[in-house]
Amino acid sequence: MDSPSYKLPPLLAGIKSPDDVKALSPEQLPALAAEVREVLINSLATTGGHLAPNLGVVELCIALHRVFSTPRDKILFDVSHQCYVHKLFTGRAPAIGTIRQFGGISGFCKRSESEHDAFGAGHAGTALSAGVGIAAARDLAGDDYNVISVVGDGAFTCGTTLEGLNSISTSTRKFILILNDNEWSIDKNVGALSRYFSSLQETDTYTWLRDRAKNFIERLAGREIKEQASKLLTAARGMITPLSFFRQLGLTYYGPIDGHDIDRLERVLRIASRRDEHIILHIITQKGRGYEPATLNPTKFHGVGQYNVENGKTPRAATITYSETFGRCLTELAADDPAITAITAAMPSGTKLDIFREKFPRRFYDVGIAEEHASIFACGQATQGFKPYLAIYSTFMQRCVDMIQHDAALQNLPVRFCMDRAGLSPDDGPTHHGLYDISMMRCIPNLIMMQPRDEAELCHMLATMNTINHCPSAIRYPRGAGEGVELPAEPEPLPIGKAEVLAPEGSVALVALGNMNSVAAQVRELLAGQGVECAHINARFIKPLDEGCLMDYARRCRLMVTLEDHCIAGGFGSAVQELLGSALCFTPVLRIGWGDSFVEHGSLGQLRAKHGLTPEAIVQKITTTLNALS
């Protein structure tokens, strides 16, 4: 469907496939780039999305689709949040107004959506390894298509990217890696590799001269002399430039190149497409190019909600978010406890640790897109008596499970793992939903795990974590606005493993975890209207469970209902069911949560309605179960 707010401009309206991009004259390309930016700026103002990254790769995507031919040639985008331009050129321009909307196209590459999406993604560090794997498969099949992985400089701090980089020359015959250098991932890139890429200098003239010189020497004096000359040239180059790093990995380097110069990008990409070697093309782009609010604030416009096109302003939330509550509360705790440190992996603004950084810059650490390193880094600090709080989105904390088990829990190191965006992350879809952390982590010994029902309880739980010095602890909290309650002036630690009884009496016990307590309250009210009285328990702790409370209500009630913003399989409800089963208590447990399938993108209300997690749908499930028990 067309976007409801505008018609596609003329050049873009005529592009039904990459062949139409190829058919344009070079003189038309600047106008096409301008139209793409116009469409992105206007459409995303309504839908929200990753504006700044896509504005930065407009010319690159034009050049890629003029030189290469998808789906035969394979173009992979790391994270793939910068694939909107690619989608515009591969038959999805009329649907751009539906991006990230329920039933619309995804905000990331998705193989089931288009044959032009060579590899689905949503996390950093996938494009290089997947591209090398595709290239290796191509070589085995005796084929000759091109494989191109577009990787941002921020992803070069990601362990999988470096592992893939190490294996290119030994795994494939030819491969093209495009380093999209804009000095940003979500926030400004940090670390030695970021400084390294900033230091790279123009060397394509040197490359041309090198090849001419080597060929001349070979004709004049033979291959053996040529090889000796090549070694001398490489050694000399290493003395004057840091590019020997790529040479040692078996990659031929081109660049840096202006990533907004379509003509030059085309020329270099055509050269790369014809060469039987491993190439890294280093391009320099500007994140947010063409829209001043995005260039001035690329962090805000990396992933943005609705905004005013004229000035870039976004609606201010009426209620403080869980992330902001976390940032504020941790900063206040740190004012009284110099042992507290804060660590994140390239997301200080998203986790609101930028609040902490402003007040305590020496105790704040952003290690880049390196979640595994961040976890062990935190463990190292914990061995020296510090209290590290590691804040990472739940969907990215999945990468840290080995470290949580092997490095933190096994050694009883008191690292505080703080999982933002736990539960549904609506518009971003299955790559970003935090629906699996409980299942992955609750089996780990020596771990305390909790979830607050509102932002005030989040503060109390952070204070609780600060008292836990004998083992690791984890807290999960949702994306977006809190319940609107007042924050405590002085948060108090909670008793470990103790639930909170909000309504004591009833034939049905509603045991709710975290933000599902508000849903449980609505369910209780609806059932009361049907003459069914319900007890309501705020679980607070996932591990350890409040066994005494749960067993008491299991023996008193006809039905126990668990509610969680998490997958049902292996989740909180499973833990409750296991507890009752081990005690030979046969009270039925009805588990409410997300089913055994990946959840698509859409609004919170739309997804809960489709998957049966609205109060009305839950009441229907409870009523049906009670009738079956009669």
Name the residues annotated as catalytic: 287, 371, 399
Place of tokens 């470096």: 162
| 375 and 402 Cβ atoms separated by less than 8 Å | no
| 464 and 498 Cβ atoms separated by less than 8 Å | no
Q: How does DSSP classify residue 481?
A: B
- What is the C-alpha separation between 149 and 147, in angstroms, rounded? 7
Q: How many CA atoms lie within 13 A of 41 on its CB side?
A: 23
| 479 and 421 Cβ atoms separated by less than 8 Å | yes
Neighbours of 207 (CB within 10 A): 16
Q: Which residues make beta-bridge pairs with 500?
A: 538
- What is the C-alpha separation between 232 and 235, in angstroms, rounded? 5
Place of tokens 């190292």: 380
DSSP line for 563-585: EEEEESTTSHHHHHHHHHHHTT-
Query: What one-letter code names the amino acid at 284?
Result: I
Place of tokens 């109390």: 460
Residue 388 in 3-state DSSP?
strand
DSSP line for 282-330: EEE--TTTT-HHHHH-TTTTTSB-S--TTT---PPPSS-BHHHHHHHHH
| 379 and 424 Cβ atoms separated by less than 8 Å | no
Which stretch of DSSP H or E encloses residue 452?
A: none
Radius of gyration of the chain measured on its C-alpha atoms: 27
List CB contacts of 411: < 8 A, sequence separation 6 or more: 379, 383
- Helix orientation angle between 262-274 and 29-47, rounded to the nearest 10 degrees: 100
Query: Could you tell me what percentage of the chain is helix, strand and coil, using 3-state DSSP and rounding each to the nearest 5?
Result: 45, 15, 40
Which stretch of DSSP H or E encloses residue 254?
A: strand 252-258
| 185 and 150 Cβ atoms separated by less than 8 Å | no
- What is the C-alpha separation between 575 and 567, in angstroms, rounded? 12
| 132 and 168 Cβ atoms separated by less than 8 Å | yes
| 303 and 81 Cβ atoms separated by less than 8 Å | yes
Going from the C-alpha of 456 to that of each of 266, 283, 448, the distances in angstroms are 55, 47, 20
Going from the C-alpha of 125 to that of each of 159, 171, 221, 484, the distances in angstroms are 7, 18, 45, 37
Tokens at 285, concatenated = 């782009």
Its sign, for the CA torsion 481, 485, 489, 492, is negative
Going from the C-alpha of 570 to that of each of 191, 404, 524, the distances in angstroms are 38, 18, 25
Q: What are phi and psi of 554, to 5 degrees?
A: -65, -35
Q: Tell which residue, 125, 580, 64, 180, has the closest CA to residue 345.
A: 125
